[in-house]
């Protein structure tokens, strides 16, 4: 982001901001992120930070494609669980962004949807970590 902005400050909407180095076309920023934790709220600090960066850099924050318990998705794909809708929704989200400049709420929700109940996720994740650690110990 630093190459896009001047080091100087200007006041914009009552806040100090950096002015752009050169006028740039109307640019949008989308966050695409995964997380090992199950809950969606683990992304909130990251989303808030990116929104602040966009404000400062005169960029439009266009949304966030978030995949909690990402490791579970990889495992479920490998084992043939019915999770193709998540992958299809992610692909469709990219198409929507390119064609309309925004991502539908339906695709955002599908990409972030629960894959397994929280208790099952914790049990399976801990079982996997224990198995991996036991292999290292032997």
**Model confidence over 44-74: pLDDT tens digits?**
999 999 999 888 888 889 999 999 999 899 8
**How many distinct structural domains can be found in the chain?**
1
Q: Report pLDDT for 1.
A: 64
Residue span of the structural domain in which 31 resides: 2-118
CB of 95 closer than 8 Å to CB of 65: no
Q: Report pLDDT for 24.
A: 66
Q: Report pLDDT for 117.
A: 94
* 123 within some domain: no
* 95 within some domain: yes
CB of 1 closer than 8 Å to CB of 53: yes
* Residue in 29, 36, 100, 99 with CA at minimum distance from that of residue 65: 29
**Residues in the chain with pLDDT values less than 70:** 1-2, 24-26
Those residues whose C-beta lies under 8 Å from the C-beta of residue 131, and which sit 6 or more positions away, are none
d(CA 103, CA 4): 25
* 107 within some domain: yes
Tokens of 70: 């990402």
d(CA 14, CA 114): 40
* 138 within some domain: no
Task: Determine phi and psi for 19, rounding to 5 degrees.
Answer: -75, 150
* 127 within some domain: no
- Compute the CA torsion angle 102, 30, 16, 24 (nearest 10 deg): -80
């Amino acid at each position: 982001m630093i190459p896009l902005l001047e080091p100087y400050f200007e006041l914009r909407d009552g806040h100090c901001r950096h002015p752009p180095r050169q006028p740039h076309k109307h640019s949008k920023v989308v966050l695409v992120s995964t997380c090992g934790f199950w809950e969606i709220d683990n992304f909130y600090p990251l989303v808030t930070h990116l929104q602040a960066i966009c404000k400062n850099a005169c960029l439009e924050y266009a949304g966030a494609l978030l995949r909690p318990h990402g490791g579970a998705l990889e495992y479920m794909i490998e084992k043939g669980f019915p999770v193709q809708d998540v992958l299809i929704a992610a692909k469709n989200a990219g198409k929507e962004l390119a064609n309309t400049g925004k991502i539908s709420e339906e695709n955002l929700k599908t990409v972030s949807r629960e894959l397994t109940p929280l208790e099952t996720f914790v049990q399976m994740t801990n079982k996997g970590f224990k198995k991996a650690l036991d292999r290292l110990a032997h």
